[in-house]
Amino acid sequence: MTKALRVLILGLNYAPEPTGIAPYTTGMAHFLAEAGHDVHVITGLPHYPHWEIAEGYRGRRIHEEDGKVRITRVSHPVPAVPTGKSRIKMEAVFALQAAAVAGPRPDVVLAVSPALLTVAAALRWRTPGRTAVGVITQDLYSRAIAETGALGGRGAKAAERLERALLRRADGVIAIHESFRRSLVDLGIDDDRITTIRNWTHIKGVVGDTQKLRHRLGWRDGEIIALHAGNMGAKQGLENVVEAARAADRDGLPMRFVLLGAGNQRAYLEELGAGIERLQFIDPLPGDEFQTAMAAADVLLLNERPEVAEMCVPSKLTSYFASGRPVVAATSSKSAATSEVIASGGGRLVAPGQPEALLQVVMEVGADKEEALAMGLRGQLFARDALAEGAARTAYVTWVEQLAGARRAAVLPMAAPATEEPAVPAPRRAFTSRSRRLGAKAV
């Protein structure tokens, strides 16, 4: 190992948030701390996927410890119904609050995007020969705005210009998939500054009694269960699943579509699906039961809006493949999800936004038990070989140490090298604080 580094991580999402980006930011922080580096995380208030601040986290500034990782949580608004503008406001406030946290100068600052404006907060530290900045792109921000139509055409162009300008100033950028790497190059980022490090399977494979859980959840014997586990947001386009369940009702098929989790679209989807017998909503389950539910299902569903192509790599796939169940993915042929399903051999693809086609493929996969088992096993092998935590651990530690080693060669455009360490600005207003240990871990 190189000399111990002082590493600062800026990311809106962190444990105890159980899904989405948080498990990967949490894991990365642990990788670096366990490698002997001094890791400080500045993060937000736990709110995802419910879009409400978790109990016990009200406060202007909160200090915690998560093993060897020091955590500072800063306050920010959390929109009850997140839209493009309300999310940007939340992310902007978080970035401003994160930039105001005082402390010793780090050797490396890592920004997790989204939130994109967090990159701007990280760049305030960048000084040639002193501090390097790396960015982990978990979603492609400008692609997300363009593909979801969140801010209209002008907003998408403005987001693209901002993302390009910020990422070009970073010393290194992580792409979580090769498709992201290609999109980043298309955005104008030099390929030699991009490193691909895959997200990993973070579930531990602890599975309980699947039959017992099926009965508790009301799943009947002989009924094909198609389970969507995770966030219910706009990009998932789960109206498609609701309409597939409606068609299953119409045809009297022995199956059930299950939407497990939370999200800003759940109430709308429940209203849309009212009265559909073969549609079930389940609140988020504890970690072990969540894994058991995936193993108890006959088919695991991934559904995306037809417009979604380049903006993300669905994090649920890392858990789906590890569960050993076949995947049915309703997604664009251009999406990262499509390339993952093809590479793994762990499922079937169907065109997005076509509920009748989705229903047909789910029934085919669920009815062919032998092929379903084979797909599940192929998915598990893919998770073991391509999505291994150990590989990600080594890659992140190596990348950060290389950033630190190359920082003396970094050149900040339009700026002369600093001759002495600049003062870190203190917050403009007083904050109350409290300390505790972080007990909850990412699932």
* Closest to 40 in 3D by CA, of 82, 78, 18, 11: 11
Classified as helix, coil or strand, 70 is strand
What amino acid is encoded at 94 in this protein? F
Query: Which pLDDT score, from 0 to 100, does residue 150 have?
Result: 62
- 237 and 306 in contact (C-beta within 8 Å)? yes
- 44 and 55 in contact (C-beta within 8 Å)? no
Q: How far apart are CA 330 and CA 304, in angstroms?
A: 6
List the structure tokens of 296: 């108890």
* Closest to 387 in 3D by CA, of 200, 188, 139, 146: 200
Q: How far apart are CA 324 and CA 382, in angstroms?
A: 10
- 208 and 288 in contact (C-beta within 8 Å)? yes
Query: Which pLDDT score, from 0 to 100, does residue 438 have?
Result: 56
Question: 17 phi and psi, to 5 degrees?
Answer: -60, 130
Q: How far apart are CA 142 and CA 260, in angstroms?
A: 28
Query: Which pLDDT score, from 0 to 100, does residue 430 have?
Result: 32
Query: Which pLDDT score, from 0 to 100, does residue 94 have?
Result: 95
Query: Which pLDDT score, from 0 to 100, does residue 59 have?
Result: 76
- How are beta strands 61-66 and 69-74 bridged, if at all? antiparallel
- How are beta strands 69-74 and 38-43 bridged, if at all? parallel
Helices (H), 176-281: 178-187, 210-216, 239-251, 266-272
Q: Report the phi/psi class of residue 161: left, alpha or beta, with left for phi > 0 and alpha for psi in -120 to 50.
A: alpha
Length of the chain counted residue by residue: 443
Q: How far apart are CA 315 and CA 342, in angstroms?
A: 16
Q: pLDDT tens for the chain, 443 residues: list them.
A: 568 999 999 999 999 998 889 999 999 999 999 999 999 999 999 998 888 899 989 878 999 999 999 999 999 999 887 777 888 899 999 999 999 999 999 999 999 998 889 999 999 999 878 999 999 999 887 777 766 666 666 777 888 898 999 999 999 999 999 988 998 999 999 999 999 999 998 777 668 899 999 999 999 999 999 999 988 988 899 999 999 999 999 999 999 999 999 888 999 999 999 999 999 999 988 878 899 999 999 999 999 999 887 667 888 999 999 999 999 999 999 898 999 999 999 999 999 999 999 999 999 999 999 999 999 999 999 999 999 999 999 999 999 999 999 865 544 444 444 433 333 333 333 333 444 445 433 33
- 288 and 296 in contact (C-beta within 8 Å)? no
* Closest to 346 in 3D by CA, of 367, 369, 320: 320
Helices (H), 252-354: 266-272, 287-296, 316-323, 336-344
Query: Which pLDDT score, from 0 to 100, does residue 414 have?
Result: 43
* pTM score of the predicted model: 0.85
List the structure tokens of 53: 């601040």
Query: Which pLDDT score, from 0 to 100, does residue 42 have?
Result: 98
